[in-house]
């Protein structure tokens, strides 16, 4: 049965329909202050552990604790370092030990308060400690609100690549407070906006048309536009997840731009040089450029994608990234480690036009290399000097 959300006429509710594991995504302003009232009806006991990071904690933690206390929910905190480097095995081990040190029981709820990194590592920990603790996503970035908090995909990174160790584990609820997004730097908002654009490019051409006209309003935090962007994105993802929870088919479309993007992130060390949403933006440009190059997509559509993302300040060429461009052979090597590889074949989400995405495993590496070189990648990594071994 869907766990219903009571109150708040202004909030928008998006159901994620998964039988007994169904839940709602609640979108609205100042929901951080109402979280206790919501969670009190969802939690098996009134005890919670809030997992957050060092940036979000001073901005949101006091308000959340006041809300939880008002509903009689006892909460403790775990504050992790901010940044993608937190999604690793040592941090996950430490987090699991901390939860066990705190004496959590199978009814103790984990609250993930933060962006995609916190949502991911908190979700993995909740899924494996005591073989499963209930958890709630409270995303504080635009990217997390429209994408990573919805659908139950949780993972950490390894030296082989991004998000390669994890599990599908659905939350009890997702609470997306759009007012919190005003605390984000403009660059983080733009990075999250890339994932909003993704939904239009996959299957909703009218939404992309709307974003071309109103995207600047979304990024300027105009509430009506921002709420529409978040709700539309969550509805799109919830519909796909409800039909394909474990990415056996349709859900793979949500990876538009990600095969390229994860390779670019790997080349920058998953750091501040290239944020995830920026990598996805660049990846979507290249997915459409590849689609046009292969004759699937009108060149005019590929140019629209590049033009819109550039207009809002997202990277659209390899030269836009401070450490780029990179050798094409290294980029292809990263792609071969992508978790979407099947029988040694790279998986790409391509398009027959805006709103017409499809999955392909028939793209020759030579076509990818040619596209990357056309986009500015260097032909090949430099060979080691004679007498020296590559470290």
Any idea where the domains of the chain sit in the sequence?
Answer: 12-184, 192-374
Strands (DSSP E) contained in 74-134 are 74-80, 109-114
Task: Answer yes or no: is 276 a known binding residue.
Answer: yes
First to last CA, the chain: 55
Report whether 111 belongs to an annotated binding site.
Answer: no
Is 195 one of the annotated active-site residues of the chain?
Answer: yes
- Res 15: pLDDT: 95
Q: Per the annotation, does 195 bind a ligand?
A: yes
CATH architecture of 12-184: 3-Layer(aba) Sandwich (3.40)
* Residue 374 among known ligand-binding residues: no
Provide block-wise average pLDDT over 10 residues at a time, the chain (391 residues): 42 92 95 92 88 97 96 96 95 98 96 97 98 97 97 93 92 96 96 98 98 97 95 97 92 94 90 93 98 97 98 95 87 84 82 97 92 87 44 35
Beta bridge partners of 357: 351
* Distance from C-alpha of 245 to C-alpha of 321, rounded to nearest angstrom: 34
In the annotation, is 308 catalytic?
A: no
| Centroid of chain to Cα 263 | 16
251 part of the active site: yes
Q: What are the two backbone dihedrals, phi and then psi, of residue 357, each rounded to the nearest 5 degrees?
A: -80, 155
Q: Which of the following is catalytic: 235, 262, 286, 334?
A: 262
Q: Establish whether 221 is a catalytic residue.
A: no
CB-CB contact of 259 with 335 (8 Å): yes
Q: Provide the token pair at 259.
A: 């095969």
**The pTM is what?**
0.90
Active site residue 247: yes
Please name the fold of domain 192-374.
Dehydroquinate synthase-like, alpha domain (1.20.1090)
Measured between alpha carbons, how far is 39 from 44 in angstroms, rounded to an integer?
10
Q: For this structure, is 214 an active site residue?
A: no
The region that residue 346 occupies, defined by phi over 0 for left and psi between -120 and 50 for alpha, beta otherwise, is beta
303 is catalytic: no
The reply, when asked if residue 120 is annotated as ligand binding, is yes
Q: Is 69 left (phi over 0), alpha (psi -120 to 50) or beta?
A: alpha
> Which one of the listed residues 12, 65, 87, 153 is annotated catalytic?
153
Q: Which residue shows structure tokens 């962007």?
A: 229
The Cα 264–Cα 313 span in angstroms is 18
| Burial letters 139-162, b for 16+ CB under 10 A, else e | bbbbbbbbbbbbbbbbbbbeeebb
User: Which residue reads 């159901």 in tokens?
Assistant: 15
Enumerate long-range contacts of 208-213, CB under 8 Å, 24 or more apart.
208/308, 208/354, 208/355, 211/308, 212/304, 212/308
* Distances from the Cα of 206 to the Cα of 202, 216, 264, 356, angstroms: 11, 17, 29, 12
CB-count burial class (<10 Å; 0-12, 13-18, 19+) for 190: buried
Q: Which helix (H) or strand (E) holds 177?
A: strand 173-177
- pLDDT for residue 148: 95
DSSP 378: B
**74 beta partners:** 47
Residue 153 marked ligand-binding: yes
In this prediction, residue 380 carries a pLDDT of: 72
* Residue 237 annotated in active site: yes
């Amino acid at each position: 049965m869907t766990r219903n959300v009571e109150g708040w006429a202004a909030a928008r509710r998006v159901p994620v329909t998964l039988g007994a594991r169904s839940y709602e995504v609640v979108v609205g302003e100042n929901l951080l202050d109402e979280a206790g009232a919501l969670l009190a009806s969802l939690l098996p006991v009134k005890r919670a552990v809030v997992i957050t990071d060092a940036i979000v904690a001073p901005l949101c933690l006091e308000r959340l604790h006041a809300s939880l206390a008002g509903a009689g929910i006892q909460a403790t905190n775990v504050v992790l370092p901010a940044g993608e480097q937190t999604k690793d095995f040592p941090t996950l081990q430490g987090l699991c030990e901390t939860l066990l040190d705190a004496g959590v029981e199978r009814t103790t709820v984990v609250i993930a308060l933060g962006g995609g990194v916190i949502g991911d590592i908190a979700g993995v920990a909740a899924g494996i400690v005591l073989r499963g603790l209930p958890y709630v996503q409270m995303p504080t970035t635009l990217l997390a609100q429209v994408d990573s908090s919805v659908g139950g995909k949780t993972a950490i990174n390894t030296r082989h690549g991004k998000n390669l160790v994890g599990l599908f584990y659905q939350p009890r609820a997702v609470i997306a407070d759009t007012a919190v997004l005003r605390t984000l730097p403009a660059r983080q908002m733009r990075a999250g906006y890339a994932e909003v654009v993704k939904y239009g490019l996959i299957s909703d051409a009218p939404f992309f048309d709307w974003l071309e006209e109103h995207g600047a309003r979304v990024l300027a935090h105009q509430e009506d536009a921002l709420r529409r962007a978040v709700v539309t994105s969550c509805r799109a993802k919830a519909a796909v997840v409800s039909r394909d929870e474990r990415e056996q088919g349709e859900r793979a479309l949500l990876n538009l731009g990600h095969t390229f993007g994860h390779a670019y992130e790997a080349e920058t060390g998953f750091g501040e040089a290239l944020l995830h949403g920026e990598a996805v933006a660049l990846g979507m440009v290249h997915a459409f450029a590849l689609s046009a190059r292969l004759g699937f997509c009108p060149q005019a559509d590929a140019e629209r994608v590049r033009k819109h993302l550039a207009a809002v300040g997202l990277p659209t060429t390899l030269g836009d990234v401070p450490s780029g461009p990179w050798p094409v052979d290294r980029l292809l090597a990263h792609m071969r480690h992508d978790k979407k590889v099947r029988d040694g074949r790279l998986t790409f989400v391509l398009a027959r036009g805006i709103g017409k995405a499809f999955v392909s495993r028939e793209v020759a590496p030579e076509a990818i290399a040619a596209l990357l070189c056309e986009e500015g990648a260097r032909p090949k990594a430099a060979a080691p000097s004679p007498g020296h071994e590559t470290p």
